[in-house]
Amino acid sequence: MRSRWWDQILKANLINYNELPKIDYTKRKYRANEYDYVIIVPDDSSFVRWADSIKLFRQKQGIRTGIYTISDLGGNTVANIENFVDSIYNNWATPPSAVLLLSDYESSGKSYGITSQSLPHPYSGTYISDNIYADVVGNDSLPDITFSRITAQNESQLSIMIEKDLNYERNPPTDFNYYDNPVTACGFQTERWFQLASEIIHGFFEYGLGKNPIRINAIYSGTPSGGDQWSSATNTADVVSYFGESGLSYIPDTIPSSIQWNGTATDVVNAFNNGAFLIQHRDHGGEDGWGEPGFTQSNFSSLNNTLLPFVMSINCLTGRFDYSSEVFTEGLHRMQHGALGLVAATQVSYSFVNDAFIFGLYDGMWPQFDPGYPTKDNFVGYDNLRPAFAMESGKYYLAASNWPYNTDNKGITYNLFHMHGDAFMTLYSQVPESLTVSHAPTLMIGQTSFTVSADDSSLIALTVNGEIIGTAEGTGAPVSITIPAQSNPSDTLIVTVTKYNKFRYEKAVPIVSGSGPYVSYLSSIINDASGNNNGQINPGESINLGVYLKNFGA
């Protein structure tokens, strides 16, 4: 599949990506009722309304979004959902890049439920997987569409889980330490790679991104000491050679004596409450939470963080959303504080393949993580930090990896891990900066183009009444965007510009008649001196807003 969004996964994984035909996605024509992003909801008006909130937000930024109820698909069965996804993938001129299942798992017919495929687990009963829907071509368990789920059961949960993401992207944190102190947490086990994977990510944060990550390590088994080997597992030497002193230098070749192995749940609670843009866990897990350090649902009442992290919960069972009661991932996502979103597994998962998957996750978000993949110095990965797309990219990275000895467990790993959150959720990894955008203050009736100047590689979208009428890629210079002529002076053109690690730009442009004088918005000044004085409107602030109008015409 070729699309603006899925191409990011192709770039990150194909050796010969540059040989593919170049496509100008701003000129791609869409047929009616075909979308980049599909949201599937139960037959419940609350779910439809909240899906519409996501749709409006994504449409404004140029992502064509459509909503379907479970009845539109023929009913809440695995066969109906899979047939629908297969049909739109195979029959739409441009298949959707992503699908969001906006509901908790339920197969018994409750109003809020959307079911999932149940599969036999090799030694732990059964497990569910939405990845079965994502695998359209080839039956290889590798996703052809990005899938995510928001496990809400009612309107209260919907409002919390969706507003977390939309508010985060509208008003991202501006606290430097939030971005400077990501967290890695793990449990040591001599014969596993828990500590090896965790420390590689820690080293990438420190040496690759220039941050000051927080380490919270504990011991599951073993007695790690300075100078010891990282693990006794097969192929450990290959991984250390690649990421260690003779390779990317994310880790020393042996365990450093400076690492402390006494991390606790209190340390994890403090890390949440102090603020971190990302928290990475690697160890054992259960439906209730992490093995080491032992952070579980019993600790959630101590969380009061307003700065929300995205959590990579790479372990067993913490994402088992078909369990008889609320599990760790659901609780952390549904609560007012807790997590912005998570990646987690629906059953017992497997060491070594999990660790290679972690490397793929981070290479999906930061292509410089593994500059040798897919070819040496091929820094062609993500322009945006979208964990759902990075998760799918990580599965392809795992497919190509020779490090895990247990290659037979790759397929189930693709199926086990799920994204909890909006599929197009985009993280910030540093204090955002403002975009430089300029355009006319009004749009004349009958005008068939609109010119916008915006930062290079930004996405410019023009919408009227929630519908996309034009998109373009910013170049830093004026770009003329062809649009259908507008005829209603009571309508408003919305100009939205987005780019990774930049504040979202959104401006209303009046549509005006070409004759007679008129008054239009010119500019505004935000005075939030009584708040945090950062020049941005933040929730809970009292501000003074100076608005300037201009008289156009006689």
The last residue of a domain, from among 138, 164, 190: 164
DSSP labels for 20-79?
SPP--GGG----TT--SEEEEE-S-HHHHHHHHHHHHHHHHTT--EEEEETTTTTSS-HH
Q: Is residue 182 scored above 70 in pLDDT?
A: yes
Domain ends where: 113, 133, 164? 164
> What pLDDT is stored for residue 547 in this prediction?
82
We report the CATH number of the domain holding residue 25 as 3.40.50.10390
Which residues lie closer than 8 Å to 324 by C-beta, 6 or more apart? none
Do the domain assignments include residue 199?
yes
- Give the pLDDT score at 142: 98
**pLDDT at residue number 393:** 97
As for how many domains the chain has, the answer is 4
d(CA 457, CA 387) in angstroms, rounded, equals: 20
**Is 61 found in the same domain as 88?**
yes
- How far, in Å, CA of 277 to CA of 434, rounded? 19
Query: What tens digit of pLDDT does each residue of 142-173 get?
Result: 999 999 999 999 999 999 999 999 999 999 99
Q: Is residue 193 part of a domain?
A: yes
Query: CA–CA separation, 472 vs 92, rounded Å?
Result: 22
Look at residue 525 in the predicted model and tell me its pLDDT: 87
For residue 442, being part of any structural domain is answered with yes
Which residue, 50, 314, 297, is CA-closest to 161? 50
Residues 153 and 33 in one domain: yes
Rounded-to-integer distance, Cα 496 and Cα 406, Å: 47
What Å distances lie between residue 19 and 249, 367, 438, CA to CA? 32, 19, 35
Q: Which helix (H) or strand (E) holds 413?
A: helix 410-416
Q: pLDDT band at 29, cuts 50/70/90? A: confident
> Is this model's pTM higher than 0.85 or not?
yes
Give the C-alpha separation, 508 to 169, whole Å.
Answer: 18
Determine the pLDDT at residue 554: 52
CATH (domain of 449): 2.60.40.10
Do 70 and 151 belong to one domain?
yes
What residues form DSSP beta bridges with 179? none
Lowest mean pLDDT among 77-86, 334-343, 517-526: 517-526
Residues 500 and 522 in one domain: no
- For the chain, helix, strand, coil in percent to 5 are 30, 25, 50
Q: Helix or strand or coil: residue 196?
A: helix
Averaged pLDDT for residues 394-401: 98
Q: Which of 387, 337, 411 is nearest to 138 (CA)?
A: 411
Q: Helix or strand or coil: residue 128? A: strand
Identify whether 2 is part of a domain.
Answer: no
Residues 212 and 321 in one domain: yes
- The whole-number pLDDT of residue 516 equals 63
Do 146 and 183 lie in a common domain? no
Could you tell me if 22 and 124 lie in one domain?
A: yes
**Per-residue exposure over 425-434, b if at least 16 CB sit within 10 Å of its own CB, e if not:** bbbbbbebee
Contact in structure between 370 and 363 (CB atoms under 8 Å)? yes
d(CA 387, CA 393): 9
Give the pLDDT confidence of 339-359 residue by residue, as tens digits: 999 999 999 999 999 999 999
- Average pLDDT value over all residues in the chain: 94
pLDDT, average across residues 93-121: 90
Crossing angle of helices 353-365 and 387-400, in 10° steps, is 130
> The domain containing residue 79 runs over which residues?
7-164
Looking at residue 477, its pLDDT comes to 98
Task: Please determine, for residue 377, whether its predicted confidence score (pLDDT) is greater than 80.
Answer: no
**% residues pLDDT > 90 (the chain):** 85
Short-list 425, 346, 424, 417, CA closest to 134: 417
Instruction: Indicate whether 228 pLDDT > 70.
Output: yes
What is the pLDDT confidence band of residue 521, given thresholds at 50, 70 and 90? Answer: low
Same domain flag for 395 and 480: no
* pLDDT for 319: 99
Of 516, 512, 513, 544, nearest to 529 by C-alpha is 544
**pLDDT reported for residue 184:** 99
Q: What is the pLDDT of residues 285-308, one digit of tens each?
A: 999 999 999 999 999 999 999 999
Residue 107 has pLDDT above 50, yes or no: yes
Task: Report pLDDT digits (tens) over 41-53.
Answer: 999 999 999 999 9
* φ, ψ of residue 464 in degrees (nearest 5): -135, 125
What average pLDDT score do residues 43-69 get? 97
What's the chain's length in residues?
Answer: 554
98 and 237 share one domain: no
Domain C-terminal end among 144, 164, 184 = 164
Q: CA 303 to CA 311: how far, in whole Å? A: 14
Angstrom distance (rounded) from CA 283 to CA 277: 20
- The answer on pLDDT for 515 being more than 70 is no
- Phi-psi group of 240: left, alpha or beta (phi > 0 → left; psi -120 to 50 → alpha; rest → beta): alpha
CA atoms within 13 A on the CB side of 6: 19
Residue 106 lies in a domain: yes
Say which CATH number the domain at 404 has. 3.40.50.1460
pLDDT of residue 381: 45
- 494 and 522 in a single domain? The answer is no
pLDDT at position 56 is 98
Q: Are 244 and 252 in contact (CB under 8 A)?
A: yes
Question: Is 255 inside a domain boundary?
Answer: yes
In this structure, the answer to whether residues 262 and 305 fall within a common structural domain is yes
For tokens 């003074």, name the residue.
544
pLDDT, tens digit, for every residue of 81-106?
999 999 999 999 999 999 999 999 98
Residue 428 lies in a domain: no
**Are residue 136 and residue 152 in the same domain, yes or no?**
yes
The answer to whether the beta carbons of residues 113 and 43 sit under 8 Å apart is: no
What pLDDT, on the 0 to 100 scale, is given for residue 141? Answer: 97
Judge whether 185 lies within some domain: yes
CA distance 383 to 458: 10
